Structure 1
Amino acid sequence: MSRIQLLSPRLANQIAAGEVVERPASVIKELLENSLDAGAKRIDIDVEQAGVKLLRVRDDGSGIEQDDLPLALSRHATSKIRDLDDLEAVATLGFRGEALASVSSVSRLTLTSCPEGADQAWQVETEGRDMAPSVRPAAHPRGTTVEVRDLFFNTPARRKFLRTEKTEFSHLEEVVKRLALSRFDVAFNLRHNGRPVLGLPPAQTEQEARRRVASVCGPAFVEQSRQIDSERSGLRLWGWVGLPTFSRSQADLQYFFVNGRMIKDKLVAHAVRQAYRDVLFNGRHPTFVLFMELDPAVVDVNVHPTKHEVRFRDGRMVHDFLFSTLYRALADQRPGDQAEGDEAPVPGAAPVSQPTVSGLDAGVFSGQQRMALNEAPATWNATPASAYVPPAAPPAGAAAAYAGLYGSASAPAQSLPAAVEGEDVPPLGYAVAQLHGVYILAENAAGMVIVDMHAAHERITYERLKQAMDQEGLRSQPLLVPASMAVSQREADCADEHAAWFQKLGMSLQRMGPETLAIREVPSLLRQADAEPLVRDVLSDLLEYGSSDRIQAHLNELLATMACHGSVRANRRLTLAEMNALLRDMEHTERSGQCNHGRPTWTQLSMPELDKLFLRGR
């Protein structure tokens, strides 16, 4: 091999450009981040031919001094950090000082800027080579404009790898949308080939912020999402979480920001996946626009050239906070909550209380299930049908007339009395009929409700099984012959560190050597499962994410199967009393909007929607 030698500045710049400038969207990301770091409140973007011919970004930020303009185009020159302490607590989007130098090495770049208080703007130009930039006077208002023309004109091989104009512009537009979501206080205007594409005014109020999210993600997302805001241990998570019924076939509506920076992180993805596990249909992806705020000193954003990945100092705490916040937000979504994400229930919604075993559930838990859950038989004495009472006292007036419907499941069918105007009606209303032994038809204040009775009862039964298991705990079953397994020393150390956690979940691991573990006890519910691969998967999760839910996931799968077999079956005829008991239980059960497999349990048809079907009012 030849001797080591320094690369020419031009070659070094083009190698750096390969890391920073992948396509026009990469350029727009760097330019917009610089504008935001400069304190811009309005950013105008003009694009021609998806950015290959022209990219122009104009902002009203703080601007660049005349003497600093040549430095702005130099590698590793930045105003955003000074020393190592600054690097360990980065609070800006850009900080490496490579962007403009890399972009200018593969394009014809013009930078014009007028700092605040200056009476003269200045301009600097480069043309894709290592040239001494010259600065000259220019006319420009306060702020900065960067023009990038003829991208990759001097590297034709790179230009060949670009996609069609439509594809490249879609990537570029996506970058603008991400940054528009990260800064609600900044106005963004995007034009392509002279045609306006995005016009987003500043969003100062919550309503304006919702409007911006609707402009970027679509109004359906805002209508089918829940707004959250939670804070704990120096961490804050806020934003919008899509309902499980508003899922996607691809993970293309997922925005997660850490201190204003859009990231895609494995730890975050794992926590979100866990939170949605019980309510999302197989193969579907959740939707969300979430913002996490924390001390910049406890997150490292300098771990990847694109800065899309971060590293948290305490990853386990972040993971647990994300999971618990999202899990609770999804669990608290019940019939009666407003679709816009407001936490206030609609008028007439009964107060939330713990589920009560209804007449419909009498005898649903078999002796085998009770044994599997290690419950004392007395604990599982289902409430007799004659003793069943509604979860909440029925409201006065019209609803009181329905009190008889909450009683015995074996009561004969009753016809509904005429409704009294002006009285509150529960969110899911009152049953009026059963369709083909599968669906319950109910009438509420908004119109008609259709319920899949098996799916709904399956969720109710499943949640009660989980609740019972949480209250009574897990019982371990010793293995007649302990199972020995060879592991790495790192995995064995991990098992030692989390020994108490394994024990809590009903599993006992004993270290037999530097690289050997013995499985001595397993949860009774999983006594038929193959314990070794389960333990390996759990250890893998603990090492990568700091936590694991695989044991709980296996337990939940078994409980879901039990709930499915223990729930009311299709084609079973129910009385009005039984149907109304099921509706009331749904209103007081967590996650009752989806069955254990993620399918919806009920849907609403409003009166305007019904009128539209029959062309009424036209």
Structure 2
Amino acid sequence: MEFMIEPLPIDVVHLMAAGEVIDSLSAVVRELVENALDAGATRIVISLWADQWRVRVSDNGAGMTLENLRQAARPHTTSKIRDRADLQNIRSLGFRGEALYSLAQLSQLEILSRPSSEMQGWRVAYDAQGEAAEIETVAIAPGTIITVDQLFETWATRRDALPSAAQQLKAVQTVIYRLALCHPQVTWQVQQGERDWISLWASRTAKQRLPQLVRGVQEAELHEISIASGNAVESSLYLLLGLPDRCHRRRPDWVNVAINGRLVHLPELEQTLLAGFRQTLPRDRYPVCFLHLHLLPQQIDWNRHPAKTEVYLHNLDYWQQHVSQAIEQALRLNPASIPEPLSSRRVGTVIKAAESGADYRVHRTIAPGEPLPSVLRAIAQVHNRYILAEHPSGMWLVEQHIAHERVLYEQICDRWQLLPLEPAIILNHLSQAQVEQLQHLGLVVELFGDQIWAVRSIPALLAQREDRVDALLELSLGGDLQTAQVATACRSAIRNGTPLTLTEMQTLLDQWQQTRNPRTCPHGRPIYLALEESALARFFRRHWVIGKSHGLE
């Protein structure tokens, strides 16, 4: 079906937010690339001559007929909406019909285009009013080539106010990366003059695209999950996240939210993403995550800001809840997602001898719970610090203290409980800030004498501990309730150097696997090291032919 470019009715123009602002090279690239994506392009080539204020964008999209080319650069002309009702049913990246008209006013604009249904293409050059000034036939492949030359030539003050060329190119790169992440199926080629600059190959999902954009990120460090919404067939949620024990950053610069192919600024959902990683990352580190919502047009109001990066999202609470659930699901060690054993029997044979020496005694026990299905089987304890476990894909080393810390922390968060103390614990020489901190955490603290304080309640996990006094002093030194819960879990967890029996090791593994965030402790340290069977096979040269490895032919 061919869509015609037509002027918008004046009442629709008045209903729209202020038009597009072409104020930089990056804005030009954004507008032209969005048009290419709306045209169904799967390959986009961008050429930049920053010193000449020139941009060219080529695509293999649907192309335009001569009739459409005549209309394309006139004000408020578009093929994407027709009337005011269409403002509630926007399915394209652009819809206001002002970008090409603005470019015609600010530069020398030329478009070459050919629909796949026609044998020849057309070249049209436009004047400052967006009228076709030159028209001629050209031989080109199906698609569109738009050239913007001498940008801001008649607006010298705009040129003078722009950042340096290097900064503008950085902004262009950001625009391309943002759109490329949302459209991984598109191949991108970007050139500075005649020199190749950025090349991004087509990918099936953002999981394969993100490592092309972020240096140091590998596909194995990422996990993706897709969830169809229960309230609408056409609505879905895609979440890509860096596993917190492997992938995080110093700044929240890769916490991104997209809706229907465009990155947007939605602080509520961005905070939901950050909250989902709380107490899973090291201090002052931020997650790598990309949330892409595919929604019905009626659920979004794009007509909020000229750049269309700020939107009104209906049912925001509903999507916040679904995002939180998706993060929780993605961070779990889900047995259903574990592949079937490949050669785990061979791994068990190699290290079976370790089991015979695992008869240990324990000073601090782990309370057994109900038996749970486990993909890990405890085999031995290494240096009274690590649990060696057999896994369907190889072997895992699990650090016992921080694994238990994760278990206790989530139990404490779910069931934070203060018990009365009888007799009270006496603390000396507390500052007023320390007293207020303990009271802020809900503990009952009373003046008992000169610089003497009586603490009459305590977190349940600390109630029977011999180091209760030290624990209370630690809690008094600052932090919110969550910090106190982390400190309580850390102090209560089984210590490294404590021997465990096989039963106790298995109980800990079972409990740990069922936690919500099993990959890291509440301080952000990784809990386990995976030794994959495939890596073991390569190391031990199990692919060698025995005869040849012995020098026999």
Q: Shared fold (TM-score greater than 0.5)?
A: yes
Question: SS state of the match for residue 82, structure 1?
Answer: coil
- Judge which range, 167-176 or 73-82, deviates more: 167-176
- Judge which range, 297-306 or 19-28, deviates more: 19-28
Paired with 2:79 and 2:126, the residues of 1 have a C-alpha distance of 21
Match of 2:403 among 450, 456, 464: 456
Q: Does 1:290 align with 2:264?
A: no
Q: Does 1:333 align with 2:333?
A: yes
Paired with 1:113 and 1:103, the residues of 2 have a C-alpha distance of 17
Q: Which amino acid aligns with 1:267?
A: E
Structure 2: any 5+ residue segments left out of the alignment? 1-16, 366-373, 419-438, 445-478, 540-553
CA-to-partner distance for each residue in 1:446-500, whole Å, 9 max, x for gaps?
898665543332111112234446xxxx99xxxxxxxxxxxxxxxxxxxxxxxxx
- Do 1:64 and 1:144's aligned partners in 2 also have CA atoms closer than 8 Å? yes
Paired with 2:350 and 2:394, the residues of 1 have a C-alpha distance of 20
Paired with 1:452 and 1:218, the residues of 2 have a C-alpha distance of 29
Change (3 A) 1:99 1:429: farther
Q: Which amino acid aligns with 1:343?
A: S
| Structure 1 counterpart of 2:494 | 568
Question: SS state of the match for residue 64, structure 1?
Answer: coil
Q: CA deviation at 1:307?
A: 0.7
Paired with 2:22 and 2:135, the residues of 1 have a C-alpha distance of 27
Q: CA deviation at 1:210?
A: 4.2
Paired with 1:429 and 1:172, the residues of 2 have a C-alpha distance of 54
Question: SS state of the match for residue 95, structure 2?
Answer: coil
Q: CA deviation at 1:276?
A: 1.2
Q: Which amino acid aligns with 2:362?
A: A
| Structure 2 counterpart of 1:440 | 386
| Structure 2 counterpart of 1:344 | 338
Paired with 1:323 and 1:408, the residues of 2 have a C-alpha distance of 41
| Structure 2 counterpart of 1:220 | 217
Q: CA deviation at 1:287?
A: 0.7
| Structure 2 counterpart of 1:156 | 156
Question: SS state of the match for residue 62, structure 1?
Answer: coil
CA-to-partner distance for each residue in 1:127-176, whole Å, 9 max, x for gaps?
6x447431411313322110012222222222233333333223212322
Q: Which amino acid aligns with 2:157?
A: A
Change (3 A) 1:116 1:281: same
Change (3 A) 1:314 1:17: closer
| Structure 1 counterpart of 2:449 | none
Q: CA deviation at 1:91?
A: 0.2
Q: Does 1:594 align with 2:544?
A: no
Q: CA deviation at 1:408?
A: 6.0
Q: Does 1:409 align with 2:362?
A: yes
- Do 1:109 and 1:146's aligned partners in 2 also have CA atoms closer than 8 Å? yes
Q: CA deviation at 1:611?
A: 13
- Do 1:440 and 1:579's aligned partners in 2 also have CA atoms closer than 8 Å? no
Q: Alpha carbon RMSD of aligned pairs, Å?
A: 4.2
| Structure 2 counterpart of 1:261 | 262
Q: Does 1:113 align with 2:38?
A: no
Where do 1:39-78 residues align within 5 Å? 39-49=40-50, 53-78=53-78
CA-to-partner distance for each residue in 1:307-335, whole Å, 9 max, x for gaps?
111111111111111122212322x137x
- Do 2:379 and 2:390's aligned partners in 1 also have CA atoms closer than 8 Å? yes
Paired with 1:411 and 1:35, the residues of 2 have a C-alpha distance of 65
Q: CA deviation at 1:589?
A: 3.4
Paired with 2:130 and 2:212, the residues of 1 have a C-alpha distance of 43
Q: CA deviation at 1:253?
A: 2.2
| Structure 2 counterpart of 1:431 | 381
- Do 2:73 and 2:131's aligned partners in 1 also have CA atoms closer than 8 Å? no
Change (3 A) 1:284 1:600: same
Change (3 A) 1:23 1:612: farther
CA-to-partner distance for each residue in 1:243-262, whole Å, 9 max, x for gaps?
12311111222332211122
Question: SS state of the match for residue 105, structure 1?
Answer: helix
Q: Which amino acid aligns with 2:382?
A: V
Change (3 A) 1:251 1:401: closer
Q: CA deviation at 1:279?
A: 1.3
Percent identical residues: 28
| Structure 2 counterpart of 1:193 | 193
Change (3 A) 1:158 1:598: same
CA-to-partner distance for each residue in 1:82-129, whole Å, 9 max, x for gaps?
1111111100000011111222222222112223433443223246x4
- Judge which range, 36-45 or 396-405, deviates more: 396-405
- Do 1:106 and 1:153's aligned partners in 2 also have CA atoms closer than 8 Å? yes
Q: Which amino acid aligns with 1:596?
A: P
Question: SS state of the match for residue 161, structure 2?
Answer: coil
- Do 1:17 and 1:103's aligned partners in 2 also have CA atoms closer than 8 Å? no
- Judge which range, 234-243 or 261-270, deviates more: 234-243
Question: SS state of the match for residue 220, structure 1?
Answer: coil
Q: CA deviation at 1:186?
A: 2.8
| Structure 1 counterpart of 2:323 | 322
Q: Does 1:465 align with 2:390?
A: no
- Do 2:104 and 2:130's aligned partners in 1 also have CA atoms closer than 8 Å? no
Paired with 1:349 and 1:314, the residues of 2 have a C-alpha distance of 48
| Structure 2 counterpart of 1:301 | 302
Q: CA deviation at 1:444?
A: 6.0
- Do 2:328 and 2:517's aligned partners in 1 also have CA atoms closer than 8 Å? no
- Do 2:379 and 2:389's aligned partners in 1 also have CA atoms closer than 8 Å? yes
Paired with 1:252 and 1:22, the residues of 2 have a C-alpha distance of 23
Paired with 1:55 and 1:103, the residues of 2 have a C-alpha distance of 11
Paired with 1:287 and 1:52, the residues of 2 have a C-alpha distance of 37
- Judge which range, 166-175 or 284-293, deviates more: 166-175
CA-to-partner distance for each residue in 1:490-527, whole Å, 9 max, x for gaps?
xxxxxxxxxxxxxxxxxxxxxxxxxxxxxxxxxx9954
| Structure 2 counterpart of 1:536 | none
Question: SS state of the match for residue 238, structure 1?
Answer: strand
TM score, norm. by length of structure 2:
0.70
- Do 2:152 and 2:158's aligned partners in 1 also have CA atoms closer than 8 Å? yes
Change (3 A) 1:608 1:67: closer
Q: Which amino acid aligns with 1:63?
A: G
Change (3 A) 1:166 1:610: farther
Change (3 A) 1:43 1:19: closer
| Structure 1 counterpart of 2:447 | none
| Structure 2 counterpart of 1:83 | 83
| Structure 1 counterpart of 2:464 | none
- Do 1:312 and 1:318's aligned partners in 2 also have CA atoms closer than 8 Å? no
Change (3 A) 1:448 1:584: same
Aligned residue-pair number: 453
Change (3 A) 1:177 1:135: same
Change (3 A) 1:345 1:466: farther
| Structure 2 counterpart of 1:242 | 242
- Do 1:62 and 1:115's aligned partners in 2 also have CA atoms closer than 8 Å? yes
Where do 1:119-134 residues align within 5 Å? 119-126=119-126, 129-130=128-129, 132-134=131-133
Change (3 A) 1:114 1:328: same
- Do 2:43 and 2:188's aligned partners in 1 also have CA atoms closer than 8 Å? yes
Q: CA deviation at 1:272?
A: 0.7
Paired with 1:467 and 1:18, the residues of 2 have a C-alpha distance of 50
Paired with 1:214 and 1:343, the residues of 2 have a C-alpha distance of 22
